[in-house]
Structure 1
Amino acid sequence: MSSNKPVTKKIINSPQTCVDDNLRGVVATYPSLQLHPKHRVITVRQKSDTGRVAILGGGGSGHEPFAAGFVGAGLLDGAVAGGVFASPPTGHVLYAIAHLYKYNSGGVLVIIGNYTGDRLNFGKAIEKAKISGIKVEGLIVGEDVASCKNKTGGRSMVGEVLFYKLAGALAAKGYDLATIRKEAAEFNKYMATLGVCLSTCSLPGQPPLFEIAHDEMELGAGVHGEAGITKMKMGTAKEVVAMILEQIISHLKLVAGNRVVVTIDNLGGTSIFEMNIISAEVKDHLESKKIKVERIFSGHFKTSLEMQGFQICVLHLNEEKGDLWLETLDAPTGGSAWTGGVLSVRSEGGHVDDDTLLQSHGAKAKSGPALNPKEQELLRGSLLSAAEQLVKSEALLNKLDSGCGDGDCGITIKNFGIAIQSYLKTASVEYPSNVLWDLSEIAETDMGGTSGGIYSLGLSAASQAMASAKSNDVASWLAAWESAIQAISKYGGAEPGDRTMLDTLHHAAEAFKQNLSADLKALLKKTAEASEQGAKATVKMVARAGRASYVASGYMNDEDAGARAAAVWLQAILNYVTNNI
């Protein structure tokens, strides 16, 4: 191992104890299972003979939830764990077989992954058990397309978990040992798995096993950190899935009209977000070939520590056995890690929106005071000025947001500005309440995120206040302004002094209120000055609400981005009106 590569960080106690600590964690989480610590075996708790066949699985650790996560009714009766990426020793496997046979006189079927160490150690344990009079059979399984040309056949990938499900369901139905083994052997002929990894994994206490360039992925990588058959350039989810599926379709000789079950295995470090995208692309690609996807099972089944990547396993449901196999995969189970269930069953219903639902919540009727042509010109001009300034402030607001947010405040505000400019090209501004309502809808759809929600709430509250106003005067606009502040505070959870946009809005509204009786130009000037003071005051405030409240105060050395954004558009509106009345 190259000494200049850093050891990968892992939350463990020590490389020496991590396997045993992992198994202790399994039974801490699922106390109904029983750990046999000296032999690294986990079984269901059994007090009397079931009379049926027991199913045993296992292999190296580091593939969690495989295999202990699949111990439970209708799945495995027991699992034996080796070291990380290492086969369990013969003695531990023999112990597991003997324990299961004690409580399951129908015999024990051992599912063996197609790896040299597992074949040897599990095989030797089976032969020893037979000599001692235990009714036991083994079945070596493997379905990897990348290694299928090997003399011993393809490696065992995520498909091994499907054997657990098939055999466990058949055992629960009372099938005998020979029949279950024969059924599983037939099952193996109709499966194929191929995957890619984007990053490698590392054994506890070790650096990464191999390297993958940032713009590359490894096709056909194994679950023990083995490099794949070829390196390829990264592609989109659609491209990568299509490339994998085309090889599987060819391998299984699938044609239009075939039925399949697909298992998509997270190799450990892939987000659920990405896994969902992969599932959608898998379904679309197969159905474009007129191959019927009966089930998709997605999740962590047989991982490779923290490896980023996934495997796709396709099971061809043939005409003779397909219905039985599907029935076993759908059978209920107590195994904690099996992701299938009633929601997995194929439905023929489409996925469409009911576009009639929100039609009644669309355009508001004309309400509130109407503006004369000159007033309309003033409103349109002031809004255009505000929009222009919002667009221009993108860089400043992003910079202010980068210390305590995600650095996108300027982008969000710019989107709002552009949408307002587009809206004002054709919109009527005769009724301020309608304009405010339209702006609230634009904030919701074009800004998005938290800012969009806050602006939408404030503007819709202002719209309602203007709808009930008797005239277009400064008192009506103050009432609308205060309604907006109240709505933002009520649903956003912030108050003035919490280092948010409310500091600008509140400070300016107070100045507006105190100068209501003053000359209009003086009123507007004082309000604009107050908005500037409100934004600047946030420099020394401690964030108590909003995204910034989750960040250490040391990261906040400047104005709040939301407070500055509010000052930008407020001053643009106030200055425009001042210069054009």
Structure 2
Amino acid sequence: MSAKHFIHDPTHLVNTALLSIPHTNPSVQCDQPNKIIHIKPSSTPSQVSLVSGGGSGHEPSFASFVGPGLLSGCVAGTIFASPSAEQVRRCILHRVDKDKGVLVIVMNYTGDVLNFGMGVEKARAKGINVDMVVVGDDAGVGRKKGGKVGRRGIAGTVLVVKIAGAAAARGASLQEVTRVAQLVADNTVSIGSSLSHVHVPGRREPADDELKAGQVEIGMGIHNEPGSERKSTDLPGLVKTMLSHCLDVADQDRSFSTITETDQVVLLVNNLGGVSPLELAGITNEVVEQLAGTFAIKPVRILAGTFMTSLNGLGFSISLLRVADTGLAGASMLELLDAPAEASGWSAAISSSTWTRRDEMLKSEEQVDEEQVQPSDLRVDYAQAKTTLTTALNRLIEAEPDVTRYDTIVGDGDCGIGLKRGAQALLKMLETEKTTDDLLILVNQIIQVVEVSMDGTSGAIYAIFLNALAHGLRQNAPASPQPVTVEIWANALDSSLKALGNYTPAQPGDRTLMDALCPFVDTLSKTASIEKAAAAAQKGAQGTRGMKASLGRTVYVGGKGFEEVPDPGAHGLAELLLGLSDGLNK
């Protein structure tokens, strides 16, 4: 098996991928010898048929866009190579409904235009009514570089296919569907960027063409074609450049778009294949914010996901469509975009009515008032409390590298970062919140920050424990305002430890943070000394070295090394408690 692929034979890969599509959409069939995916006969009422395709490697485009409301047929080539004219001819003549005519939509690549064009001419010679629309939306190729060839077709083609497919499904004529498809193509501009070139199965790629660490190629095509420039930049800088290439009318070489702030705009953020959904979401947010902040454009539709890939390309593309009048009665461009489609590759399922209500819902959204904390009679010296907490939190932040290293050995490596994030958020809270001498108000301020800033198992345990601590403090509060005592702290901590036991069976000896927490609470109750209690917590944490875990992720994380390191959660807590002791002694 190849180190980069599970299926390393490109021919077998394309064939089996096409065979998979009817498994996920029973309304389509696969003509494997001709690499054609098409709607089953009688699956839809007679309408204009839409045919598209091109080289494989751009999935879900276009084979997985075959289905009611989208394409009637798709012709696939080998990876990054156009299908033959004969494949196209067979699709038009034998695999799709020809009664109302056929529209072929193809991206502007020489091989695709020639082979699909030849197939169209062969079909016309047989008396079939066929039109063809060529999409060139890539702003990564300027006028000088594009020359007579023009702009390449990239992910904006997806919008052309979707809107034209919906028009055909509504019963529009071939002339109308062709006009709408061309209208969308003329009003769409796109650009892509990637952090690396992709590896094609079965092909040896030139190593000297790879991007250096930290570089991004702006304007990269979907077949590994070079872009307009390589540069080192962060995401905001990258998005700024990409949007400028699409929207800057002063750039005479690549000013293909006339989009202004007065236009309705559709935004498509497309994953080139290797970007995680989480990161693509962050990218989408950056694009939306820059469109609004720099260009005063607030898209009326935002589509984000995987629509046209470059195999596992570590990049994304941005497409912008200026909404124009389709000239079809009762079928605006947005309504056609929102219309349902039954194709396994189409993932934008938000209805027109939901989009229409978006602004209304934003205006009527009620802000939830913060719950008011009932005052208590427990008093605290806020200045001392701030100093103590600051010392403890800074000590925890300094311990993060060790906690992270320990958790990388015995867990998933996120414990230290989670604790540091919570500590930093609490430090910020101490600088911004109003001072108070009411201990319960201060504790609840801490709880609110912990609940928002800390996640994962540690976050849940800390939040439960602190909420129970707040309850315990209130239960032990005096009848009149008095300073909090060590005895009150000890009683409240003991009750909160018992409450925590309702949610976790962890006990000392299980290699968890309880190995530090329980000795701290027990020693504080017996000695009334925070210094001795913190030392007991440290001893308990160190005692987890070599201890076999019976709870938590460490139970099923394999490998060696746990014998040499303490439990990361116990170590982090011990450092925090030692910091509290240091702070009190300042």
**TM-score category by the smaller chain?**
0.7 to 0.9
Note if 1:481 corresponds to 2:493. yes
Partner of 2:336: 328
Shift in CA distance, 493/169, structure 1 to aligned 2, threshold 3 Å: farther
Q: How does 1:412-431 map to 2 (within 5 A)?
A: 412=421, 415=424, 418=427, 426-428=435-437, 431=439
Q: Aligned equivalents of 2:43 and 2:79: distance in 1?
A: 33
Which whole-Å CA distance do the structure 2 matches of 1:425 and 1:141 have between them? 59
CA separation of 1:164 and 1:412: change in aligned 2, threshold 3 A: closer
Aligned partners of 1:257 and 1:292 also within 8 Å: no
- 1:180 Cα deviation after fit: 1.9
1:4 matched residue in structure 2: none
Structure 1 residue 115 corresponds to structure 2 residue 109: yes
Bigger mean CA offset, 525-534 vs 204-213: 525-534
Aligned match of 1:276 = 281
Contact 2:140 2:245 in 1 (8 A): no
Q: Could you tell me which of 291, 298, 302 is aligned with 2:304?
A: 298
Moved more, 465-474 or 39-48: 465-474
1:498 correspondence with 2:497: no
- Per mean C-alpha deviation after superposition, the further-off stretch among 168-177 and 479-488 is 479-488
| Counterparts of 1:340 and 1:550, CA distance in 2 | 38
2:376 to 366, 378, 393: 366
Is the CA contact (8 Å cut-off) linking 1:482 and 1:509 kept in structure 2? Answer: yes
Q: Using the alignment, how far apart are the partners of 2:232 and 2:390 within structure 1? A: 46
**What corresponds to 1:314 in structure 2?**
320
Letter in 1 for 2:542: K
User: 1:539 corresponds to which residue?
Assistant: 545
SS of aligned partner of 2:342: coil
Aligned to 1:138: 132
| C-alpha displacement of 1:512 | 6.2
Query: How many residues of Structure 1 are paired with residues of Structure 2 in the alignment?
Result: 558
Distance 1:317 1:264 in 2: 17
In structure 2, relative to structure 1, the CA distance for the partners of 1:277 and 1:459 (3 Å cut) is: closer
Contact 1:49 1:104 in 2 (8 A): no
Following superposition, the deviation at residue 383 of structure 1 comes to 5.9
Map of 1:174-193 to 2, 5 A cutoff?
Answer: 174-193=171-190
> Which residue in 1 is equivalent to 2:54?
59
Query: Identity of paired residues, percent?
Result: 32
What is the one-letter code of the residue matched to 1:40?
K
Comparing 475-484 with 558-567, greater Cα deviation is found at 475-484
Q: What is residue 210 of structure 2 aligned with on the other side? A: 211
Match of 2:83 in 1: 88
Cα 1:211–1:258, aligned 2, differ >3 Å: closer, same or farther? same
What's the offset of the Cα at 1:74? 0.8
Tell me the secondary structure at the aligned position of residue 403 of structure 2.
Answer: helix
Amino acid aligned to 2:448 = E
Structure-1 separation of matches of 2:384 and 2:80: 73
Question: Aligned AA for 1:505?
Answer: L
1:387, 1:421 within 8 Å by CA — same for their partners in 2?
A: no
Whole-Å separation in 2 of the counterparts to 1:242 and 1:372: 50
SS at match of 2:571: helix
- Residue 216 of structure 1 deviates from its aligned partner by 2.2
Change (3 A) 1:22 1:483: farther
**Residue from 19, 25, 31 that aligns with 1:24:** 19
- CA, structure 1 residues 483+215, in 2 after alignment: closer, same or farther (shift >3 Å)? same
The answer on 1:14 being equivalent to 2:9 is yes
Deviations 1:17-55 (A, max 9, x none): 111121223233333422222221112222478332111
- Whole-Å separation in 1 of the counterparts to 2:444 and 2:43: 70
Partners of 1:49 and 1:372 in 2: how far apart? 74
Question: Is the 1:8–1:206 Cα contact (8 Å) retained in structure 2?
Answer: no
Name the SS of the counterpart of 2:90 in structure 1.
helix
Q: Secondary structure at the match of 2:545?
A: helix
SS in 1 for 2:211: coil
- 57-66 or 411-420, larger mean C-alpha shift: 411-420
Q: Kindly indicate whether the alpha-carbon contact (under 8 Å) linking 1:58 and 1:67 is maintained by their aligned counterparts in 2.
A: yes
Please say if 1:461 is aligned against 2:462: no
1:440 to 441, 447, 458: 447
Q: Which of 562, 565, 581 does residue 558 from structure 1 map onto?
A: 565
The answer on whether the counterparts of 1:126 and 1:137 sit within 8 Å (CA) in structure 2 is yes
Distance 1:187 1:528, change over 3 A: closer
Residues 372/534 of structure 1: CA separation in 2 closer, same or farther (3 Å cut): closer
Between the aligned partners of 1:428 and 1:104, the Cα distance in structure 2 is 81
CA separation of 1:142/1:537 partners in 2, compared to 1, >3 Å: closer, same or farther? same
Instruction: Give the Cα–Cα distance (whole angstroms) in 2 for the partners of residues 157 and 409 of structure 1.
Output: 40
Q: TM-score, normalised by structure 2?
A: 0.82
**How far apart in 2 are the matches of 1:236 and 1:372?**
46
Counterpart CA distance in 2 for 1:399 and 1:378 is 33
- The 10-residue stretch of structure 1 (437-446 or 39-48) with the greater mean CA deviation from structure 2: 437-446
Equivalent position of 2:252 in the other structure = none
The Cα offsets for residues 523-580 of structure 1, whole Å up to 9 and x where unpaired, read as 8787566434422332233334445445325142311122123334445667998x99
Deviations 1:378-398 (A, max 9, x none): 988876775575456455434
Give, as a single letter, the amino acid of the residue that structure 2 aligns with 1:563. A
Contact 1:60 1:83 in 2 (8 A): yes
State which drifts further: 470-479 or 61-70.
470-479
> 1:189 Cα shift?
2.2
Q: Distance in 2 between matches of 1:356 and 1:489?
A: 35
User: Structure 2: how far apart are the matches of 1:208 and 1:126?
Assistant: 34
- Sort the Cα spacing of 1:378 and 1:212 in 2 relative to 1 into closer, same or farther, 3 A: closer
Q: Counterpart of 2:516 in 1: which secondary structure? A: helix
The aligned counterpart of 1:262 is 267
Residues 458 and 483, structure 1, Cα contact 8 Å, conserved in 2:
no
Cα distance in 2 for residues equivalent to 1:547 and 1:83: 44
1:411 aligns with 2:420: yes
Q: Which sits farther off after the overlay, 303-312 or 485-494?
A: 485-494
The one-letter code sitting in structure 1 at the alignment partner of 2:333 is: W
Which residue in 2 is equivalent to 1:44? 39
Preserved CA contact (<8 Å) 1:158 1:265:
yes
Per-residue CA deviation, residues 174-208 of structure 1 (Å, 9 max, x unaligned), is: 12223322332343222222222221111013355
One-letter identity of the residue aligned with 1:558: V
* Closer/same/farther in 2, CA of residues 525 and 410 from structure 1, 3 Å limit: closer
Structure number, greater radius of gyration: 1
Cα deviation digits, residues 316-368 of structure 1 (max 9, x gap): 22357597322321222112222333357253347589786242x2433215x
Once the two structures are TM-superposed, the CA of residue 422 in structure 1 deviates from its matched residue by: 5.7
Q: Is the 8 A contact 2:534 2:577 kept in 1?
A: yes
| Range that drifts further, 48-57 or 379-388 | 379-388
Deviations 1:84-130 (A, max 9, x none): 001112232222212334x4521222212221211222222222233
Confirm or deny: 8 A CA contact 1:166 1:329 kept in the other structure: yes
Please give the secondary structure, in 1, of the residue aligned with 2:274.
coil
Selected match of 2:64 from 66, 69, 77? 69
State how far apart, in whole Å, the 1-side matches of 2:56 and 2:503 are: 48
Q: Deviations over 1:371-425 (max 9, x none)?
A: 699xx99988876775575456455434433423234366357537846976999
Give structure 2 stretches of 5+ with no counterpart. 250-255, 479-483
Q: CA RMSD in A?
A: 3.7
Q: Report what 2:225 is aligned to.
A: 226
